[in-house]
Amino acid sequence: MTRQPAVAGRAEQLLGSSVISTAPVAGGDVCSAVKLRLSNGRTAFLKTLTQAPPAFFEREAAGLRWLAEVDDGVATPEVLAVDSDCLILGWVETTRPGQEAAAAFGRALARLHQGGATAWGAEADGYIGRLPLQNQPLPTWAEFYAERRIAPYVRVARDKGLIEATDADLIERAAARVAEIVPDEPAARLHGDLWNGNVLWGQDDRVVVIDPAAYGGHREVDLAMLTLFGLPQLPHVLAAYDEVAPLADDWQDRLGIHQLFPLVVHACLFGGGYGARAAKIAQRFL
């Protein structure tokens, strides 16, 4: 049993409970993470980031709480404490993905989206990975997607030489056609960064989502990201989702338009071929 004094001491300040042991947790791309065993019998998860951007952890905590407001929606870990330098959550013990858990997750995700949002956007800006996420509302989804989700990241990637100018043009032209391509629906309550790494397969068929970039948006965004990066048991998730909240015709043919966003974000973060991949998808919608 090990105990990192500095980490344990910070957690104790925030939780008001003694930390018996600490253990590093691998897997995070942005933050350092530690598992905490507390004297009250609970286990917690602490994440930190050196020189975190302003309100970085506060926005994540707010997103988790906003998602948790929906009755019978997708489960989120309990927010135990948050400050400018760290976030402490209830620990989620994971197991292997199963069909029943996948179906339950699909139904819960549908109910989360049905929970709705008051605007296309959010009250405050947030983050996706380390990147700022603009959330100032706009009147329509088409405007919001083009101006808040595509343009800022295409600009960054282009300025840093991470995407070819011709590819950037294709992506922006496709995003400008969202009003023609995507059916008009009310704003859904989105996780916003729903890829496989942010879906935890908990025990008792309870799927828990983490690391949201939450805002009000089109529900097909979350489904597009799940499909882009893959998820165990995904067909069962989607079938159960459609039972609760039937999707508009041809939704699978439209997924690519909303996959442009995570791909250009990845181009900004990692470079590589993400920009070219986004441009190839964009061509389908021109």
Enzyme catalytic residues: 193
Residue 37 · residue 15 · CB < 8 Å: no
Residue 90, strand partner residues: 44
Residue 241 · residue 220 · CB < 8 Å: no
Angstrom distance (rounded) from CA 233 to CA 109: 14
Q: CB within 8 A of 65, min separation 6: which ones? A: 76, 79
